[in-house]
Amino acid sequence: MNRRVHATYEGWVQGVGFRFSAERAAAAFGLSGWVKNLRDGRVELVCEGKEADLKGFLEKMHSIFKTYIRNSDLAWGEATGEFDGFDIRGD
């Protein structure tokens, strides 16, 4: 059963390769969804996949950017299956 996580990250998370790293990590974990910068300086992402893979993805992102992330907000839910791959979306 697939799950969905909706996350927002704040801190110094724009301009440090966060979206590119999320795209690469999502591909490595076989996840689908998207990531984008928000106008207020946060980064938002939505990912779907197996729960263990989602947790591994989130841990990887945290380990890479732990010095840049000041706060994160995660909301878990059921996957919708609406995504084909993982995309970086425009602001």
Question: Residue ranges per domain, the chain?
Answer: 2-77
**Is there a contact between 4 and 46 (Cβ–Cβ < 8 Å)?**
yes
Is 89 in the active site?
Answer: no
Percent of the chain clearing pLDDT 90 (strictly above): 97
Non-local (6+) Cβ contacts of 28 within 8 A are none
Q: Is 90 exceeded by the pLDDT of residue 90?
A: no
Confidence check: pLDDT of 89 > 70: yes
4 as an active site residue: the answer is no
pTM equals 0.94
pLDDT in tens, 25-55: 999 999 999 999 999 999 999 999 999 999 9
Does pLDDT of 60 surpass 70?
yes
CATH number of 2-77: 3.30.70.100
Long-range contacts of 21-29 (CB under 8 A, 24+ apart): 21/61, 21/64, 21/65, 22/61, 22/86, 22/88, 23/86, 23/87, 23/88, 25/57, 25/60, 25/61, 25/64, 26/57, 26/86, 27/85, 27/86, 29/53, 29/54, 29/56, 29/57, 29/60
Over 70: is that where the pLDDT of 91 sits?
Answer: no
**Residue among 19, 24, 70, 71 flagged as catalytic:** 19
Q: Please pick, among 2, 37, 39, 42, the residue that the annotation labels catalytic.
A: 37
Q: Is 27 helix (H, G, I), strand (E, B) or coil?
A: helix
